[in-house]
Chains A and B, each alone.
Chain A
Amino acid sequence: MQKNIYEENNYNLESVKILESIGAQKALFMYQRMLEIREFEERIKLLFLEGKMPGTVHQYIGQEACAVGVCSALNEDDVIASTHRPHGHAIAKGLPMTELMAELYGKITGCCKGKGGSMHLGDMDKGMLPAIAIVGGNIPIVMGMGLAFKLRGEKRVAVSFFGDGASNEGAFHEGINMAAVYKVPAVFVCENNQYGASTNRKLVMNIENIADRASSYGMRSDIGDGMNVLDVYKRAKEALEFARNGEGPTLLEFKTFRLCGHSRRDPNNYMSVEEKDFWKKRDPIPLFENFLVKQGILDSGKITEIRKAVEDKIEEAVKFGQESPEPAAEDTYNDLYINMEVPR
C-alpha cells in the first residue's frame, strides 16, 4: 500500500509509467468513460428530483475511477457483478447508456426489459450479471462463476464489486474463504467509500483496512487509491493476471468516497463539512484531467470536444429512455421460467 494513499493528489512518476504503458488513446478512453458516468449520474439526479423517474437510485458520483480502472483492465470475456449502486459499473463494462436509461425508466427496451430497474442493471451478453442489490450477495456468486471457469480450464476471471459494508456480511466470509480454498480465478474489489448508507465504517469495524481481512483466508490482497484511475488500473491488472495464471483470487481494496447521498434525496448530513471538503479535493475526474493536461495529452479544446461528445450521448440516452415504449402489464408473466408458463 502506498504511504500517501490519502494525499490530495496521488498522480506521480508511477502514474507517468502506467500512462506510458497503456498509451494516450486508452487514457483518453478512460477519461471519457469516467465523464460519462459522472454526467449520467448528474442527469439522473435531476430527472429523479424532478419526479420524472420512477423507483429509487443509488448513485456512483465520486467512485468513477474504481469502476473504470478495473473494467479497463478486463479481457473481453471476463465477467463482473455489481451491487445496489451499479450505474458506474454498467457504463464502465460497456453497456449502452441508452439501454441503461431505458431500464431506469422501466421500459421494455431496457437492458433487463424493465424487470430489473436501477438496482439490477446488467446484461450477461455483455459480461455483467444483473446487479445484486443484497449487500454482499454477489460475493459467493462470483466465487461460483470463477469455479465454473476453473472446472472448464478457461482463462477467464470473474470480478465482484462490493463496498465496505459488505465485508461485514456472512456472505463475504463464506464466499471469500471458498474462493481462497478453491483458488478460483476471481478478483474481489472492495470499494471502501467509508460509509454503509449513513454509518461510518469506523463505527462498525475495528480495522483500518478491509484488505487486512484477506490474511485470515490465506488470500492475496492489495490496497490502492480509488481516486486515481491509473492506480486502480494497475492494481486491477496485477490481480487479474494473478487470477488468470491460476494463482488464485485477490481481495483488492480501493479507498474512495461517495460524493453524493446514499440514495434518493439523501443530503448526507452524517458527513462532516471537513470530510466532504477533503474528499471533494480528491474528486477523481479533475485529478485525472489535470494529470493528462500536464502530460500533454489533453488541452482545453480536447476537453470541450470530449465533454460535448459525452453530453450528446447522455441526451440520446435520455431521449431513448423517455420515448421508448412501456412494457405491457401482462409482460409480468414473462421471463421467469424457460420451458414453463407461470401458473396463474
Chain B
Amino acid sequence: MRLGIAEALRKAIHDEMARDPSVFCIGEDIGISGGFGGAFTVTLGLEKDFRDRMIDTPISEIGIFGAACGAAIMGMRPIADVEYGDFLLCAMDQVVSQIAKMRYMSGGKLKVPVVMRAPVGVTGRGSQHAQNLEPYFLSCPGLKIVAPATAYDAVGLLRAAVRDDDPVLIFEHKLLYGSKGPRQESGAVDASSEIPEEDYIVPIGKGIIRREGKDVTIIGSLLMMHFSMQAAEILAKEGIDCEVLDPRTIWPLDTELIFSSVKKTGRVVIVEESPKQGGVGAEIGIQIAENISDYLLSPVTRVAAPNTPAPFSPVMEKFYIPQPERIAKAVREMINIV
C-alpha cells in the first residue's frame, strides 16, 4: 500500500494503540471530531476508535510534556505532539530538564518512555512557525532524536520509538507529510512509500545510503535528503558520482555508516536546513575531523541556512533554504579544489 507520511503515521499510531493499551496520544487539536487531526492531519479520525486515549489539551505545552513525563514514569507510553516544532521551546524545561534527565537523576531506577512528535521545516510562515530545531536538542543527553524522510521510515521509526524505553523525539517535515485537503502544503515534496503489511521497525541509530556513489558523500535529513538526491542527479549529468547518506537518526548518530561512506569517497558535504551556527553539521563534521581526517581529500563542507531566523518573503526564503542547485555548487567547488 503506497502512503504519504501523514497517512502512514496515522496507520502506525493506530496500530500501536491497538497493540498496546498503554499507548495514548496527547496534544492540541489531535482528536477533535470535525477538526484537523493535529496541524498536519496525522491523527485525523483516531478518536473514533480510541476516544479515551486521544487526550485533547488546552494550548499548554508545559502541561502536555509534563503530563507525558508523569504518565510515562507511571507505566504509560504517551505520544505527545506539538502542532509546530517551534512550540517545543515553550516546554523546554519539561523536555530537557525533566524528560531527558529523570532516569539519570534517579540512578537508573525509572524509565520515561515518551514519544515526542514535532513538525519542522522552513515553510512560508516566517520566523516562529518555521524552523528546524534539531540543534537545540542535539546538545541534550538523554534524548534519542530521529528524522524520517520517507513514509517507510516514518512508520518504522514511530514503531521503534513507541517500543523504546527511552524518550524519543521525532522531527517530521511539513513539506514531506503529503497532507491532503485543506491542510495541504504548497511546495510539498513526495515522500510516500510502499508500506509493507508486516510489522517492521527501522532501528534507532541506523542511517541509510539513499544513493551509492564514489566521488562525494552528501549527508542530509528530512527535506535536505530529498534536495541532496536532486543535487546528485544534477551532478550525475556532469559526471560527478555522489553518494547520498540519510542519517535518519540525529542522535545517536550512525557514525559507523558515516565514517565508512566518507572513507570511501574522501569528501563530504553536510546539508542542513537550520542555520550553520552550532548545527547538526558542526557535530557531524567535527566527528569526521576527529576520527577519520586522514581519509579526507578536501575539507569538510557545510551547506546550511544563513545565521538568521527564517524570513517570510518567498524570495528570501528560497535563498534561506539550501536548494539542490546550491548543494550541487558546493560539491563542484569541492571537486575543483582537488
Contacts and interface: CB of A to CB of B under 8 A. Distances in A.
B57 A116 contact: no
Contacts, number: 155
Interface residues of A, number: 50
B109 A141 contact: no
Given A140-B66, A148-B70, A337-B166, A177 B60 contact: yes
A130 interface: yes
B165 interface: yes
Interface stretch (B3-11, B93-101, B173-181): B93-101
Contacts of A129: 73, 102, 110
Contact of B105 (A120, A338, A343): A120
Interface stretch (A167-175, A246-254, A255-263): A167-175
Contacts of A328: none
B85 to A, nearest CB: 19
Given A137-B97, A178-B57, A144 B106 contact: no
Interface in A313-344: 334-340, 342-343
Nearest to B61: A174
A270 interface: no
B107 A111 contact: yes
Interface size class for chain B?
A: 35 or more
Nearest to A114: B107
B299 interface: no
B76 A148 contact: yes
Given A144-B66, A174-B62, A137 B94 contact: yes
B108 interface: yes
B105 A141 contact: no
A148 B71 contact: yes
B70 A334 contact: no
A175 B63 contact: yes
Interface in A120-156: 120, 122-125, 129-130, 132, 134, 137, 139-149, 151-152
A124 B53 CA distance: 25
Nearest to A143: B67
A142 B104 contact: no
A177 B71 contact: no
B207 to A, nearest CB: 14
Given A137-B98, A338-B111, A115 B73 contact: no
A221 B276 CA distance: 51
B164 interface: yes
B167 to A, nearest CB: 9
A120 B103 CA distance: 11
B70 A142 contact: yes
A237 interface: no
B93 A137 contact: yes
Nearest to B141: A336
A236 interface: no
B74 interface: yes
B227 interface: no
B94 A338 contact: no
B76 A151 contact: yes
A336 B142 contact: yes
Given A147-B55, A148-B75, A178 B63 contact: yes
A61 to B, nearest CB: 25
Given A141-B70, A144-B69, A338 B103 contact: yes
A339 B165 contact: yes
B242 interface: no
Given A143-B66, A343-B253, A334 B108 contact: yes
Interface centre among A130, A149, A177, A340 (most CB of B within 10 A): A130
B90 to A, nearest CB: 9
7 contacts: A112-B107, A122-B106, A129-B110, A144-B70, A144-B74, A178-B58, A335-B104
Interface of B: 24, 52-53, 55, 57-58, 60-63, 65-76, 78, 93-94, 97-98, 102-111, 141-142, 144, 164-166, 205, 251-253, 255
Of all A-B residue pairs in the complex, the 6 with the closest CB atoms, nearest first, are A140-B66, A144-B70, A335-B108, A113-B107, A174-B63, A144-B67
